[in-house]
Structure 1
């Protein structure tokens, strides 16, 4: 596949990747003057998006919108997870408090029974 592309677009293994990319783009019939320079965004993005004939500003704007949309989606998911965890934590805390109350009541009852047995034993000894 690579050799077929090399033959079709006359790629040279001694060329830089950028030079070979330029050859491929020219072979595809794209106007290199419309593409960004090396100091701007990656040319590979413009191979796909360049078909739409969008300006750099439009591409940057659409990228920013996509990034903002993804960030908002992440924030929504994080908020949902946090509220779920908060509800679960509250439920766990309530259960823990109920268990603690039951344990305290059981200890009181045990002490009360122990006192009653002692009183009964004292009464029987007399």
Structure 2
């Protein structure tokens, strides 16, 4: 996949931890985003542990940035168009103390479905 966009309500260390926009993103088997792509299902981590942080971050430097940012909850939702996963919407919660929940998964899935159709149509 190629990283297409990064945005944050409050730019900070977490925005520096993501894959650089425009560059190819490489996901090994240990990353949670890989599981999302392979299964085509959302991955919800209500409370991020050190072990899960390794599966979220692209490398140790990014993990340190995510800790600095206060990452505590994570959500990855597949962008699926015509039955094919064409990307992933990754959401990280840092300053808002409420962890992602099932309602957030439903909302993110709806946004991801709409974005996937738009991306597919643009391709």
TM (norm. structure 2) is: 0.26
TM (norm. structure 1) is: 0.25
More strand by share: 2
Bigger CA radius of gyration: 1
More helix by share: 1
